[in-house]
Amino acid sequence: MAKIVILGAGIAGHTAASHLRRKLSKEHEVLVVSPNSNYQWVPSNIWVGTGRMKAESIYFPLIPLYKKKGIGFKQAKVVSFHPEGDDTQASPYVLVEYTTGDKKQEQVAYDYLINATGPKLAFELTEGLLPGTNKAFSVCTYDHAQHAWQGLSNLIESLKTTVKSAKIIIGTGHPKATCQGAAFEYILNVESELVRHGVRDKVELTWITNENELGDFGMDGMLLTYGKQTIKSSALVELIYADRGIKFILGAGVFKVEEGKVHYENLEGEFHTEDFDFAMLIPAFSGHGFKAYGKSKEDITEKLFKGFMLVDANYNPKAYEDWSVQDWPETYQNPSYLNVFAPGIAFAPPHSISKPRTSKNGTAIFPSPPRTGMPSGITAKIVADNIIDSIENGKESQEHKGSMGNMGAACIASAGFGMLRGSGISITTFPIVPDYIKYPTTGGRVLSKTFGDIGLAGHWLKLTLHYAFIYKAKMKPFWWLIPE
């Protein structure tokens, strides 16, 4: 009998657990450890943050589902990793601490470990960015999104009853923040809500970002087909912002937020301040600071972590111009401990995808690589399938592979809600990490698979995916037929 322990119940962790339980016989144990007992469909936080969905529409409790499906669950957080065991436990284990009750600690042994803990939302890396303070909010969780809607709703209601104007700033809240796509979607939905409530003419709406160009999204931008044209993603986003009257500030490294004020440094090394009445700023994502210990309790953290978890990537230092898609991982397996994996956001990227840039003061201001959404689900399934093969064949399997250098992704950003009045920006890219050697004349990507579109159909698709992926996450009949 094998025991597979999965740390985290987000998109990557829950996907891995679902596939493992469906394909493995009941003699094998699948156990999920997560500090949160709810599953949330993160992409729909945007609609919670604009009051178009209730938080209850995007999450559900995991314990009843896991009990029904035969998946174990512990509501706990990881304290430390012990991949060699020690004198108290022969098997490899993780030390966890329960987040309910008396907060007791427990050693959880495993044969295979999937680290799907995702990122730490490192608000503390930007002074004053704690969500819900200083008129600044977040949409990274459904709780954050609820608070953001409260703040935005209060501002909208005050604008309805006064003649005053307001300033809203949305974007990235750290010089190396990622997840620009979520902020991009949020600013479009906020703009739509301002129009719907009749107060758009009273609001100056500004996008602030660490991107050097619009539409970078941490992927170095893209050349894409749009209708019968071939354009850069920067041109598409600029067109969208011009149509909606959204201003933008590029190359901005936000380092401090005060009550109604955001302070940032630009690539010229200049320091500026913008006032606001409401802001939503994406924080930096970081590793959780986990420690790892060997059999004699010596510190072996460097074997497992470089901020995020080390996997089968090429981490040798090299100039940005010298990296290639071959540097990116394919099996998400730790090279020192082959029974340990890290899909989704939990793995350490080998290098930046967007070109690294520093200000004249030496401050790094550019997006970190995104690994959210589709890549999280796809990489989790790859890991699950290799573990299943290893168990069933009695020997290590690496048959299932998938690099972000040969993996595509589709991003559908809603730009307003409603079956007849909604809109969506659809952008599909292949591959996620550009291959400048294979596709040198098209920005490292395949044009026939990298395209954009704007319209009501995008909103319908986004809404359809919301219901489809919650259906899939609830493991309802034939859920596995819905692709990652």
Q: How many CA atoms lie within 13 A of 372 on its CB side?
A: 18
Quick check: helix, strand or coil at residue 60?
strand
Quote the DSSP letter at residue 110: -
For residue 81, the model assigns a pLDDT of 98
Query: What's the CA gap between 270 and 255, in Å, rounded?
Result: 13
Cis peptide before 434 (omega within 30 of 0): no
Q: Would residue 439 count as lying in a domain?
A: no
The per-residue DSSP string of 252-271 comes to: EEEEEEETTEEEEEETTS-E
Whether residue 162 has pLDDT greater than 90: no
For residue range 383-394, list pLDDT tens digits in order: 999 999 999 999
CATH of the domain at 345: 3.50.50.100
Q: Would residue 443 count as lying in a domain?
A: no
Quick check: helix, strand or coil at residue 295?
coil
Report how many domains make up the chain. 1
Q: Find the domain containing 24 and state its range.
A: 3-121+286-393
Q: Would residue 374 count as lying in a domain?
A: yes
Q: Would residue 418 count as lying in a domain?
A: no
Q: At 459, is the pLDDT very low, low, confident or very high (cuts 50, 70, 90)?
A: confident
Q: Would residue 308 count as lying in a domain?
A: yes
Q: Would residue 127 count as lying in a domain?
A: no
For residue range 401-437, list pLDDT tens digits in order: 999 999 988 888 888 887 777 788 988 999 999 999 9
For residue range 24-58, list pLDDT tens digits in order: 999 999 999 999 999 999 999 999 999 999 999 99
Quote the DSSP letter at residue 26: T
For residue 270, the model assigns a pLDDT of 98
Q: Would residue 88 count as lying in a domain?
A: yes
Q: Which helix (H) or strand (E) holds 374?
A: helix 374-393
404: left (phi over 0), alpha (psi -120 to 50) or beta: alpha
Q: Would residue 136 count as lying in a domain?
A: no
Q: At 103, is the pLDDT very low, low, confident or very high (cuts 50, 70, 90)?
A: confident
